[in-house]
Amino acid sequence: MSLENQETGSIKPLPRLLFDIYALALPRGHGFGQRPPIGAWQREDGISYGVITQHVETGDIGILVMRRRVDNTWAEVANETGLASLDVAMSKIEHLLQDGSSKEPMPSNTAPRPALADFGDRKTSAVFRTLATPSHLIGAWTLNQLYLAMPAPDKNWVGDCQTGNFHTRLWEAQLLASLREQGLHVTQPYPSPDFRIENRKGGAAWVEAVTANPTVPYDHVNARPSLQPEERDALFFGPAALRFAKTLGNKLQKDYHLLPHVKDMPFAIALADFHAPASMIWSREALIGYLYGLGAEPQDIDGKRVAVSTKRAELLGETSFPAGLFSDNRHEELSAVVFSNACSISKLNRVPISAGADTGGFRYMRIGHFFDRTPGALEGIPFCLDITSEEYRSLWPQGYEPWSAEFEVFHNPHARHPLPEVLIPEATHWVQENGEMICRAFYETSILWSQTRILNQDDRVPTLDDFLPRDGDTDLTTLQFSQTSQSLGILA
């Protein structure tokens, strides 16, 4: 049964796009368990919304009503079950949404959350200022909603986001969205690690977010994209792998696993890469090289071009830094590394726009490579799609791009407290079985890398031919990236 089209009084149906964004502020996000929503409504002014839920087995009717506080975070004002009928539930929602015109007051001993748009005397960074441009206003709105959804953001969160630590805070926001989208109970009960996650079956873990940053700062807005290393050894074991090693090493030195609330629980570090301009497009291989000491090299065997696994004990360079963080039990305290190659402002735009948000006169094109699941395939499948197209939206069962589409979990086979795969169910998991690495993906569609181009709505619509590599062209705007790291026969 669906009640989505009913409109009454001063309330109106809440579009799925808004509901799915607002629901990320709920402790379990999209995880309604046995009581999924069957209809949602909002007040005309957007201050409050209400949801009717129904138990999938008993048919029991319930409601959930949320209202903005004076600092614009969401507060629960009603959560009831056992209602006599849908009419009774609808009547309660109408009353609660129409009751009162003001926002909820702040709880006692609780300071209002600083506004993301309040700069004070801070000089904002160029990358933060891009959010104010017309083509990125939907991304700015989305980032603000994710910030308001955070359970207990650091007191410096807003200032960091507006200035030099924008990408660190962006990663935390997208990490929260990816976890709550999967229905996990996500809290921030301690200053560190960043998040405690728990599923309905009682499985729990801690996650600390970190970004790989450049040794020399660069202009995140105008810098020319970095180039993927041409040599396979350099791709897997070169400077990017060393950057990951130092970033993860700094976090491991903090001994989070010894904290009383973390001890005897799985602990993961969530990593996003900004060590060079656009490096996240090609740096996954470097993470594999550092974590497992594994690389891959295309070779001709029996007349077929296949990927052959290679191993190294050290990273390239004069330091001879050890490769294979997960090759033995030296760091058994680290259960896994979570990674995404899509932590970006573009992601903030794509998710809501693919779900139906107004494009504001712009066209958003995504260009990249799908993972080719054909056995032995060494190259991805190039694509160029308008993110509002049905072809793009149908790539995922939600009907729009999910936050966790690029979510990957690299498991430590020697972990003292392994991270169960079911704890982060909608991710691609890299695990070791019978001495071999296996990659298991949740989504049928896996995007190896991509870029998002923003055009005016009336511009000529580009096609894949506009982006295919030309002779002598080595720019990152071409589609030259291989999937060798995921094509070792079993790496599929």
388-418 confidence digits (pLDDT tens): 999 999 999 999 999 999 999 999 999 999 9
- E-state strands within 170-266: 185-187, 195-198, 204-212
Per-residue DSSP letters for 300-323? EETTEEEEEEEE-SB-SSTT-PBP
pLDDT band at 475 (very low <50, low <70, confident <90, very high): very low
What's the token pair of residue 375?
């056995």
pLDDT band at 436 (very low <50, low <70, confident <90, very high): confident
Whether residue 477 is predicted with pLDDT greater than 90 in this model: the reply is no
Mean pLDDT of all residues belonging to the chain: 90
Q: Are 183 and 36 in contact (CB under 8 A)?
A: no
pLDDT, tens digit (0-9, with 9 covering 90-100), for 97-141: 986 668 999 999 999 999 999 998 999 999 999 999 999 999 999
Whether residue 492 is predicted with pLDDT greater than 90 in this model: the reply is no
What is the pLDDT, as a whole number, of residue 227? 87
What is the pLDDT, as a whole number, of residue 75? 96
CA–CA separation, 201 vs 193, rounded Å? 22
pTM over 0.75? The answer is: yes
Q: Are 363 and 475 in contact (CB under 8 A)?
A: no
pLDDT band at 42 (very low <50, low <70, confident <90, very high): very high
Percent of the chain with pLDDT over 90: 77
What's the token pair of residue 132?
């104010």
